[in-house]
Structure 1
Amino acid sequence: TIVWEKATGKPVYNAIVWQCRRTAERIEEIVKSGAGESIRVKTGLIPDAYFSASKIEWILDKADPQRVRAKKGELLFGTVDSYLVWKLTDGKVHATDRTNAARTMLFNIRTMQWDKDLLDLFNIPEEMLPQVLCSGDNFGFAPVGGREIPILGVAGDQQAALFGQCCFSAGEAKNTYGTGCFLLMNTGNVPAKSENGLLTTVAATLRGEEAQYALEGSVFIGGAVIQWLRDEMRFFAESKDAEYYAGKVPDTGGVYLVPAFTGIGAPYWDMYARGILVGITRGTRREHIIRAAQESIAFQSAELIFAMERDTGITLKTLKTDGGASRDEFLMQFQADIADKKVVRPVIRETTALGAAFLAGLGSGVWKDKKELKKLWQADKKYVPSMNREEREKRLDKWRDAVRRCLGWAKE
C-alpha cells in the first residue's frame, strides 16, 4: 500500500506491507458497526487489516487528515504494480488491473468499479485512486534506450501464478508456496461465495474477455516460518537446509508448530491468533521443531483445500504447486500425504513471473491464444499420497487442536 505525491512521485509515508497488523482495531470497529457483511458481498473479502483500505486510511490520517490534497488529486494511491506503472511511464499512467484492485477492499467485484459506499466508509477520496483495466491490457509505454516499450500485462501475485499454471477453466487450482501460501481455484464467470472462510476474488483476464473469478485461501506464514527458524532461532544457515534436518527424524515426536505470527487466515480468520509450539518433551530436538515447521505449511494448505472442496462441491484430484518452497521434496510429499492429493510441480516453478510474461506475450502477439500456452506447460515431478487414512486423520485432529489453543491469544 503506497500513497505518493503526484507532483514528485515520492511516497508521503513508508509503504505498508500486507502482513502489517497496525489497523486491526480499526477493522474490528468496522465489523462491530455492521458493515462487515456489505464488504463481504461487494468485495468478496473478509474484513481484515491484510487488505489496503484501512492502510490507506491510516496513511491519510497521518499525511492528509482533512483529505484536502487527496481530493484535489495531489496524492495518489496504488498497490506496488500501480506505483511501478506510474514510475515506468514517467507519471503518464495511473492505473492498476482488476486483480490488484480486488485486494484493496474498496473494489466492487460485481460492477468492476470502485465502490462509493466503501470509499465513504474509509474516508478515501476517489480522486486518488487508479484507473482499473483488465490484466492483459495496454498500461502505457516505458521509455527504454530511446524506444517506447509497451506494458501489456499487470496482475496480482497469485492471480498471475494461476494464469502461469494455465488454470483457465473452472475447477482448476494451484497452490503457491512462498513467504505465505495461496491456494486459488478458478470458478469461471460467476463469483462463488464461501461458507468456509475463503475469499472470492477476480482472476486475470485479457481485454475484451468476460470477467472470471476465483476462490482463494491464504496462509499468512508459509515459507516465512522457515526464515524465522533460520534468522531468529538460528537453527540452520540456509533455508534449503530445513529439508535435510526434517528428514533426520521419522516424525515430529508429537510436536506441533502453528506459525500464527501475524494472525491466522482461512478457514479461521483470527487476527488475534499468535504462534504456538506444543507437545515439547525433554526428548524434543532441533530436528523435531524444524520438521514441525515444515509440516505446518502443509497442514495449513490442506485446510484450505478441504474448505475449497466444501464450498465448490468439487473434489480436487490434482494440486498444481509452485513458488520457491515447492522445490522442497519433503514438503511436497508431506503435502500429498496430509491432503490425500496428487501433487504436481511444474518445470518452471516461478509461475507468478511466468503468468505476467504470458499476459504480455499474448498482448504483443508472441503467442496467439491460451491453447498455445497450455501446450507449453510441463510437469517436473508428481507426488502420490502414501499415508494411510487413520494416520492422516489422527495428525489432522492434533493439528486442529493446536490451532484452537492459539486463537484469540493477543486479544485484550
Structure 2
Amino acid sequence: MSSESRLLVIDEGTTGTRALVFDGDGGVHSQSYSEFTQHHPASDRVEHDPEEIWQLTLARLRDALRDSDTAADDLAAIGITNQRATTVLWDRTSGEAVAPAIVWQDLRTASMATRLAAEWGAKVQARTGWTLAPVYSSLSLCWMLENDKDLARRAEAGELAFGTIDSWLVHRLTGGAVHVISASNAAVTGSYDLLGDSWYHDWLGALGLPLHLFPEVVDDSGVIATTAADVVGAEVPIAAAAADQSSALFGQGCVRPGMAKTTHGTGTFLDMNVGREPVISRHGLNSIIAWRRDGVTTYGLEGYAPVTGSAVQWLRDGAELLDSAADSEALARSVDDNHGVYFVPALTGLGAPSWDSSARGLLIGISPGTTRAHLARAALEGIVYSIKDFIELMAEESGRPITAMRADGGASANDFLLQFQADMLGATIHRPVNVEATASGAAYLAGLAVGVWNDPEDCFRGTADDAVFTPSMDEGSREAHYRQWQRAVERAKGWVQS
C-alpha cells in the first residue's frame, strides 16, 4: 500500500454531483461539488437531464484533479457511487440520452405498480427481494416505451440502451465502449433475480422489455472498464461502481454479518450486512446485493424512508420556517418536547414497511401553543420514527438484534437527531469523523481492486469515531411516543385517491 496512490471518486447524488481525490490512507485531498436541476413537469414526476449530469461530472472531476495537483495518468483507479434507481435511456450509436431520466422519487408508475401487483407482486418480491413499487426502474423504463412509440420501436430494434446512473457514467467515460451495471445497482432495478443470479426474464417478458436493452452485470469492486484517453486525459481503470447505500455500508466498515448503518440524506436508509445468502423479507423490507467482489456476493437487508432530510429542506424552502437546514437542531433543542406534534414526512408516499404511494405528509397535534420550534423538532423526530418502523422487522428477519450501528450522511452531523435515534431505537449510535461514507466506500472498493489495499480491514484502520450516542430514554416513554407516531402514520395513509 502506498499513501501516494491517488483514487478519483465520482459520487452522484439525487441533487448534485461530487468528485473527490483520495490517497492511499483514505484521506481526501480535494473535492468539488455542484447541484443539478430538479425537473418537476407534473406533481407526481421528478426528472433529471442526463446530459447535464454528465457535463457537471466532467467539470467536477477536472476541478478535483486540478485542486489536488493530480494528473489523470497518476490515478490508480476511478470509483463510482450513485443514487440507485434512476432510469436512463440512451442511443447506442450517438451515446446521447433520448429522454429525461426518471428519478427514483418519481411516482408516475404508481398505478402501474398497483395494477401489476395482483399477479406479479408476490412473484417479483420472492425473486428480486423488492416490494413491487414505483421505485422500480424497470417500471419507469416500461412507462417510457409505452408512452413513446418511436422509443419502443428503437428499443425493439436494438438501437437503445438502458441503465442506472453508474451505467450512464461508465458508458460516457469509456467513449461509449462499455454497457454495464454493478451488481448492487442491478439488484435495485426490480428486475434482477437474486435466486437465479441473472435478469428476471419472466418479469421482463411480462413488461414487454427486450433483454438486449439491459446491461451486463459486473462486480462492484473490480476493473470493469477503462476510460477513453480523450475523455479524462488518460486511460484509467474504472475499478468500482457501487449503489450509494451499499457503498456507505462498506465505507462504514460493516463487512461482517450483523453490522448495520443508517444514512441520513434525502431519504434515510438502514442497511444490514446479512452475509453470503440472500434474506427475502416477509414484511416489506428490501433484499439488496451489498457488494460483489471477486465474483463473491455479500447480501444485505434494507429499510428506507424516501423523504426525511428532504422534509427538513421543505421546512426551509417550502414552508420557509428555517433559514438553513442546520437551524433545525437549535430550534429542536429550544423546546423541552414536541408539544404533542408529529410530522409524518410522507411527501412522496411511505416506504418500508407500509409501501403506500398514496400516503402524503402529515402534521398533526397542532394547538395554539405550537411554535416553529415544535415543528422543527417534530420533523427531526419523524426521521427517527421512520427508522423505528422497520428496525425491529430487520432484527427479526435477519435473526440478529441491532444494538449498535454506524450513522453517516449530511444530517448525521445533527446531534439532536442522533441522540433521539439512540433513545428511540435503544441502540448505541457511532458517528465517524468522516460522515461521507458513501464516497469513502467507493474509494475503498476501487483501491482494493487495484492493490492500493490488500484486505478490507486495511481500509478502516485509520478511521475513528467523532461521537457516540447512547440511549437515555426509559422504555415506557419510548413506547408511548411510538404509539402516537403509529396513530399519525395511519392517518397519513391513502390520502391520494385514484
Change (3 A) 1:42 1:145: closer
Deviation (angstroms), 1:66: 7.6
Deviation (angstroms), 1:237: 1.4
Deviation (angstroms), 1:147: 1.9
Aligned to 2:184: 99
- Pairwise mapping of residues 84-163 of structure 1 onto structure 2 (< 5 A)? 84-142=169-227, 143=229, 146-163=233-250
Aligned to 1:374: 460
Q: List gaps (5 residues or longer) in structure 1.
A: none
Q: Of Structure 1 and Structure 2, which has the larger fraction of its residues in strand? A: 2
Aligned to 1:279: 365
Preserved contact between residue 67 and residue 125 of structure 1 (Cα < 8 Å): no
Given the alignment of the two structures, is residue 185 of structure 1 paired with residue 272 of structure 2, yes or no?
Answer: yes
Aligned to 2:351: 265
Preserved contact between residue 418 and residue 469 of structure 2 (Cα < 8 Å): yes
2:289 to 202, 205, 208: 202
Deviation (angstroms), 1:36: 0.8
Question: Deviation digits for residues 114-159 of structure 1, max 9, x if unmatched?
Answer: 1111111111111111110010122211125642011000010101
Q: Provide the rounded CA distance (Å) in 2 between the counterparts of 1:311 and 1:146.
A: 48
Q: Provide the rounded CA distance (Å) in 2 between the counterparts of 1:228 and 1:61.
A: 33
Q: Provide the rounded CA distance (Å) in 2 between the counterparts of 1:348 and 1:159.
A: 17
Relative to the length of structure 1, the TM-score reads: 0.97
Task: Describe the SS at the equivalent of 1:41.
Answer: helix
Q: Provide the rounded CA distance (Å) in 1 between the counterparts of 2:238 and 2:138.
A: 26
Deviation (angstroms), 1:193: 2.1
Given the alignment of the two structures, is residue 166 of structure 1 paired with residue 219 of structure 2, yes or no?
Answer: no
Return 295-304 or 148-157, whichever deviates more: 295-304
Q: Provide the rounded CA distance (Å) in 1 between the counterparts of 2:149 and 2:126.
A: 30
Aligned to 2:432: 346
Q: Provide the rounded CA distance (Å) in 1 between the counterparts of 2:202 and 2:141.
A: 16
Aligned to 2:74: none
Preserved contact between residue 191 and residue 200 of structure 1 (Cα < 8 Å): yes
- Pairwise mapping of residues 311-326 of structure 1 onto structure 2 (< 5 A)? 311-326=397-412
Q: Provide the rounded CA distance (Å) in 1 between the counterparts of 2:488 and 2:272.
A: 27
Aligned to 2:481: 395
**Aligned residue identity for 1:395:** H
Deviation (angstroms), 1:373: 1.9
Preserved contact between residue 166 and residue 377 of structure 1 (Cα < 8 Å): no
Amino-acid identity (%): 40
* Aligned residues: CA RMSD: 1.3
Return 137-146 or 254-263, whichever deviates more: 137-146
Preserved contact between residue 192 and residue 215 of structure 1 (Cα < 8 Å): yes
In the TM superposition, structure 1's runs of 4+ consecutive aligned residues that sit over 4 Å from their partners are none
Task: Describe the SS at the equivalent of 1:138.
Answer: strand
Q: Provide the rounded CA distance (Å) in 2 between the counterparts of 1:207 and 1:290.
A: 46
Q: List gaps (5 residues or longer) in structure 2.
A: 1-86
1:15 to 95, 101, 123: 101
Preserved contact between residue 173 and residue 232 of structure 2 (Cα < 8 Å): no
Preserved contact between residue 407 and residue 432 of structure 2 (Cα < 8 Å): yes
Preserved contact between residue 72 and residue 127 of structure 1 (Cα < 8 Å): no
| Count of aligned pairs between the two proteins | 410
Deviation (angstroms), 1:370: 1.0
Preserved contact between residue 198 and residue 216 of structure 1 (Cα < 8 Å): yes
Aligned to 2:156: 71
Q: Provide the rounded CA distance (Å) in 1 between the counterparts of 2:232 and 2:159.
A: 30
Preserved contact between residue 137 and residue 190 of structure 2 (Cα < 8 Å): yes
Task: Describe the SS at the equivalent of 2:263.
Answer: strand
Task: Describe the SS at the equivalent of 1:291.
Answer: helix
Deviation (angstroms), 1:4: 0.9
Q: Provide the rounded CA distance (Å) in 2 between the counterparts of 1:195 and 1:45.
A: 10
Task: Describe the SS at the equivalent of 1:308.
Answer: helix
**Aligned residue identity for 1:241:** D
Q: Provide the rounded CA distance (Å) in 2 between the counterparts of 1:393 and 1:81.
A: 42
